[in-house]
Structure 1
């Protein structure tokens, strides 16, 4: 949806491609490796200058491999999420230096349940959808000073129970970033993204892996090849990992946004 306040009637089309992975458990003992390539396609519309509505649809390809080298692969449409952002305060009406907004949304269980060739359902980690309804809410601040802009967000996620009575743990995710834009065509951004989460559980029993805290250093480069088009490329590199029995890879991502 962007951090800036939109003009009324703006329609934004965007897509983001991400590659990431993690490994749960102990190497050569009970390790399970997950790798995912994910493309999100999103539409955001501003019916009012203070309100943005968005719909996001992911297409995911997942591979899960355990220590025995057994492997599962699944790909398909994931769970749609819908969200809204309302700007609730600004320091002045024209060209504000500070914006405060509240965000709310929900992920819906629209992803199909994938099955192997013999008809058995793939494992939960190979599925693109969770089968749960997951609400989220938070607050964001955006600041501007000359060629610099700043962003800080805090979002809370409260997943519900999904397939096979599995539930992801509640989490709080934060992001702070500073962006320097020396010209209309390009900018650089550096941020820190964090996630603190409760361990997932099945039938009320906590999972052996997961839960804890992780922080990523998040550099990005942004380029505008033409009016109303922005291309962004970056990486999220974990530099603090206090997740229990989980090691995470860097997250590579590239995105494209176009305003109509």
Structure 2
């Protein structure tokens, strides 16, 4: 990763963790639920503002070793904000900062870094059994990924390959549903989100996909919790100008353990890993585990 990007990531993380103006009440007091939550699974209340940053490191290898293998590695930081203007509505935006390296079997490399594609969404809570300290929540999600990442070029002016680009150059709608249940020291979440990509740069169009999560969390203390999830992705193969790609598309499942810790009121830190245990992607696609760390702060 280049020094400039590293400095950017550190400064952005620091900004998100600087306390803001005093709030009228802590998030736990306002929603009546002490459950430690990662970004996107919090209980709603009017005026809630949550900032977060999430670091991810991941990669995959496509193709056959010593023949046509191409290795992708990425370090990514998502800077996100979510605001509830109404007790039943969350508006959210996520902007990724990314650094990528692609190496093929000849050891030739392409590197790209910068701002990725912005994602904006709205989550509406259609049902909750109680206005305060709800035990059951049902929500729907609608959003779009926007082509905010610039097209990257090599020093000679030629465009980098698709895998080295940080964005798709397409406008991609997304829709989802989620159910959450809170029961004493335990909480549970089940969700599914569908993505309908459009065609973008270099004639590329990602396949339509559905991403699912089923997770349980145990919190014996106000300060820490453990979470175990199963994440799945079902997707059609991508195509370039209508020609279907041979590698990719299919089904993959991840086991997702996390540890959550709250060092201070309204601050939640988490660390975890997404381990691929079921890989039925078409062709030769070998994903690495995904390492994750995040920090969230409620104003």
Write 1 or 2 for the structure with the bigger share of helix.
2
**2:195 — aligned with what?**
157
- Tell me if 1:9 matches 2:50: no
The alpha-carbon deviation at position 92 of structure 1 amounts to 2.9
Give runs of ≥4 in structure 1 deviating > 6 Å: none
**2:102 — aligned with what?**
64
Structure 1 segment 109-188 matched on structure 2, within 5 A: 109-188=147-226
C-alpha distance in 2 between matches for 1:241 and 1:37:
22
- Tell me if 1:206 matches 2:244: yes
Using structure 1 for the length normalisation, give the TM-score: 0.98
**2:88 — aligned with what?**
50
SS at structure 2 position matched to 1:242: strand
SS at structure 2 position matched to 1:73: strand
C-alpha distance in 1 between matches for 2:94 and 2:131:
30
**1:253 — aligned with what?**
292
The alpha-carbon deviation at position 10 of structure 1 amounts to 1.1
C-alpha distance in 2 between matches for 1:140 and 1:41:
22
Write 1 or 2 for the structure with the bigger share of strand.
1
- CA deviation map 1:32-75 (0-9, x unaligned): 11000000101111001100001111000000011111110000
**2:75 — aligned with what?**
37
C-alpha distance in 2 between matches for 1:225 and 1:92:
29
- Tell me if 1:233 matches 2:279: no
The alpha-carbon deviation at position 95 of structure 1 amounts to 2.2
The alpha-carbon deviation at position 91 of structure 1 amounts to 2.2
The number of residues matched between the two structures is: 260
The alpha-carbon deviation at position 129 of structure 1 amounts to 1.1
Identify unmatched segments of 5+ residues in structure 2. 1-38
Identify unmatched segments of 5+ residues in structure 1. none
C-alpha distance in 2 between matches for 1:74 and 1:94:
47
Using structure 2 for the length normalisation, give the TM-score: 0.86
SS at structure 1 position matched to 2:281: coil
